[in-house]
Amino acid sequence: MTLTRPLPGEYAEGYAPYIAAAPEGDPLALLAAQLDEVTTLFSGLSEVQGGHRYAPGKWSLKDLLQHLSDAERIFAYRCLRIGRGDATPLAGWDEDTYAASAYADGRSVADLLADFHSARRSSLELFRSLPEASWMQQGNSNGRNVTARCFPYIDLGHAAHHLAIIRERYLPGLK
């Protein structure tokens, strides 16, 4: 199976930034490589560094890692539902509510990283298992029309977006 980049008519503008942020190439190979990138970035953090916030009221690095796991699961779930032909509109989610109730700062960096590993590996297994015909199934997610094949790209671009923010705003403040 060769997964190709979705075309603009397959997704609403709200998804465009994440799809655009996904690098060119095989999205499943890139998702696997991104797992290594996240591992390298977070495995070197101390617990104190994991609690770092670049400004008051911003998420900690642990919160961000938890957010990546939450988003991973939600994107995979949406892909599963739409890829299986389920036309039921799927609700959105409030990432700030999820972050506030996850209490990521109370977990270790290693535990959060293991959780992300599990979520990403599960997504990859799902994406690899979908038959070719599933990818063009169309559904509605968060009030937006989208095909199943958009979700590996949305997943990839979403994580790339947050990794860029981490490098730009968080890492310079770590000592």
Q: Is the pLDDT of residue 155 over 70?
A: yes
Alpha helices in the chain (DSSP H): 16-21, 27-43, 47-50, 61-83, 95-102, 109-129, 150-165
**pLDDT for 71:** 98
Cα–Cα distance, 53 to 55 (Å, whole number): 5
Distances (CA, A) of 1 to 119, 127, 170: 22, 10, 38
- Ramachandran angles phi, psi of 59, nearest 5°: -65, 150
Q: How many other C-beta atoms can be found within 10 angstroms of the C-beta atom of residue 96?
A: 11
- The set of residues, in sequence order, having a beta carbon less than 8 Å from that of 167 and lying 6+ positions away, is none
Question: Average pLDDT for residues 64-79, to the nearest whole number?
Answer: 98
The SS3 call for residue 11 is strand
Domains and CATH numbers, the chain: 28-173 (1.20.120.450)
What digits encode the pLDDT tens for the residues 15-61? Answer: 999 999 999 999 999 999 999 999 999 999 999 999 999 999 999 99
Q: Is the pLDDT of residue 173 over 90?
A: no
Q: How far is CA 104 from CA 12, 29, 65, 84, in A?
A: 31, 28, 8, 32
pLDDT digit string, tens, across residues 131-151: 999 999 999 999 989 999 999
pLDDT at residue 115, as a whole number: 98
CA distance 73 to 163: 18
